[in-house]
């Protein structure tokens, strides 16, 4: 088996993928075509080529948050949102993903309410599950820029939909520009969701803010995203690092996203190695595969090549990731799939 095939064939779980950042150029083109065919206004023409942030791009993490509005303008009706979701799910499956936790921020648009946004995603996921082998679950996102009433509203909707569709909705998360908003103010909304049974993941340490990192770790989320500025070498403190080492909260690691937004200088100096060596659970993820022109199999390949992991270590990485999926009832199925792959390939 050549190495590229190995990384695609390896059954992988994707636990950190923002829907509107995951739209591939092919999906965006289909959405544009849909707009043209149905007479919907397409405001993206002038900006379409600006969507991807590549390796040599001069844009940074702050600039990155502006590009999402390009995708947003193509997913503002229930039909386009459903189309974007089903095309994206198909792409993850084609890349060898066997379980996906898709995340997205419900938003009001002239054509749909937040409630319709969640309903549309749930329906699109359920419909796709009829022909896909990949299992998909949904994490509802709260944007750090949201006013508190909106965060509360989203938490209430997440709880309502979790009760209605417990086999689709599994968690809630906090994301968006890390320079905006104050974590503590979102704690009541997140706690309410947690008490109702939803799992919680937080974007944590994407920029240097040790006080916030401490508050987030003390909140004891089920997972954290990125976890860059936690070790003192990366803008954290002894306290933030020792707390993470003690709590061993699993970290969703997004290599290319961090390199392309210049949150870390290059792959070699990515904090994956520190986390891995400290035996903190790490899950390789894409973040925004469309924006950063990547795929889950490519992220595994980059990780393995950068840190010289053996095929056995690679398979263990994918196997361990299964333990941290929010849908407890599919863990065994995923585990068995990986063990089968390891066995079949004599790893
Ligand atoms: C690069 N690192 C990141 N850090 C923080 N938040 C991010 C992000 N990448 C994406 N998002 C969040 O996901 C939204 C787009 O998908 P949805 O409209 O929700 O599907 C962005 O607007 C931002 O809030």
How many Å apart are CA 86 and CA 306, to the nearest integer? 32
How many Å apart are CA 73 and CA 185, to the nearest integer? 29
Atom of ligand 1 nearest to the CA of 69: 22
- Ligand 1, atom 22: nearest CA belongs to which residue? 68
Note the pLDDT of residue 2: 65
Tokens of 148: 């508190």
Note the pLDDT of residue 1: 59
Check whether 43 has a pLDDT greater than 90. no
18, 20, 206, 299: which to mutate for ligand 1, most atoms within 8 A of CB?
Answer: 18
**Distance (Å) from CA 104 to ligand 1 centroid:** 8
Strand order in the sheet with 97-104: 12-18, 97-104, 135-143, 169-175, 199-204, 223-226, 251-253, 282-284
Q: What is the pLDDT of residues 120-168, one digit of tens each?
A: 999 999 999 999 999 999 999 999 999 999 999 999 999 999 999 999 9
**Distance (Å) from CA 260 to ligand 1 centroid:** 15
Handedness of CA 283, 284, 290, 291 (dihedral sign): positive
Which of 152, 65, 70 minimizes the C-alpha distance to 114?
152
Check whether 46 has a pLDDT greater than 80. no
In this structure, are residues 289 and 85 in contact, taking their beta carbons and an 8 Å threshold? Answer: no
Could you report the predicted ipTM of this complex, rounded to two decimals? 0.99
How many Å apart are CA 308 and CA 314, to the nearest integer? 10
What residues are labeled active site?
Answer: 206
Q: Is 203 in the pocket of ligand 1 (CB under 6 A)?
A: yes
**Distance (Å) from CA 2 to ligand 1 centroid:** 34
Q: Is 201 in the pocket of ligand 1 (CB under 6 A)?
A: no
Mean pLDDT of 66-85: 96
Q: Where are the beta strands (DSSP E) in 65-150?
A: 97-104, 135-143
Atom of ligand 1 nearest to the CA of 61: 1
- Ligand 1, atom 7: nearest CA belongs to which residue? 176
**Distance (Å) from CA 7 to ligand 1 centroid:** 26
Q: What is the pLDDT of residues 233-260, one digit of tens each?
A: 999 999 999 999 999 999 999 999 999 9
Q: What is the CATH number of domain 3-344?
A: 3.20.20.140
For residue 13, give the H/E element and its range.
strand 12-18
Q: Is 175 in the pocket of ligand 1 (CB under 6 A)?
A: yes
Q: What is the pLDDT of residues 275-326, one digit of tens each?
A: 999 999 999 999 999 999 999 999 999 999 999 999 999 999 999 999 999 9
């Amino acid at each position: 088996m050549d190495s590229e095939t190995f990384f695609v064939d390896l059954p992988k779980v994707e636990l950190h993928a923002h829907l509107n950042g995951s739209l591939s150029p092919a999906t965006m083109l289909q959405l544009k075509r849909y707009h043209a065919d149905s007479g919907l206004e397409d405001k993206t023409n002038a900006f379409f080529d600006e969507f991807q942030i590549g390796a040599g791009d001069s844009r940074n993490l702050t600039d990155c948050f502006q590009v999402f509005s390009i995708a947003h303008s193509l997913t503002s009706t229930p039909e386009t949102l459903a189309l974007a979701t089903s095309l994206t799910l198909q792409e993850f499956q084609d890349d060898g993903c066997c379980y996906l936790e898709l995340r997205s921020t419900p938003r009001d648009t002239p054509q749909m309410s937040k409630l319709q946004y969640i309903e549309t995603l749930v329906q699109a996921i359920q419909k796709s599950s009829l022909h896909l082998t990949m299992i998909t679950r949904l994490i509802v996102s709260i944007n750090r820029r949201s006013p508190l009433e909106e965060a509360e509203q989203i938490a209430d909707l997440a709880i309502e939909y979790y009760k209605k569709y417990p086999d689709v909705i599994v968690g809630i998360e906090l994301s968006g520009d890390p320079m905006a908003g104050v974590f503590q103010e979102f704690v009541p909304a997140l706690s309410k969701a947690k008490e109702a049974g939803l799992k919680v993941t937080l974007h944590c340490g994407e920029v240097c803010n040790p006080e916030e990192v401490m508050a987030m770790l003390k909140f004891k989320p089920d997972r954290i995203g990125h976890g860059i500025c936690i070790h003192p070498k990366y803008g954290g403190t002894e306290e933030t690092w020792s707390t993470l080492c003690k709590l061993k909260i699993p970290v969703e690691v997004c290599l290319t996203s961090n390199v392309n937004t210049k949150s870390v200088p290059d792959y070699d100096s990515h904090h994956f190695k520190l986390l891995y060596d400290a035996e903190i659970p790490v899950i390789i993820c894409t973040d925004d595969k469309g924006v950063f022109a990547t795929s889950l199999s490519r992220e595994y390949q980059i990780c393995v090549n950068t840190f010289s992991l053996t095929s056995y270590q690679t398979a263990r990485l994918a196997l361990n990731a299964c333990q941290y999926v929010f849908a407890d009832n599919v863990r065994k199925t995923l585990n068995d799939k990986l063990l089968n792959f390891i066995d079949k390939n004599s790893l």
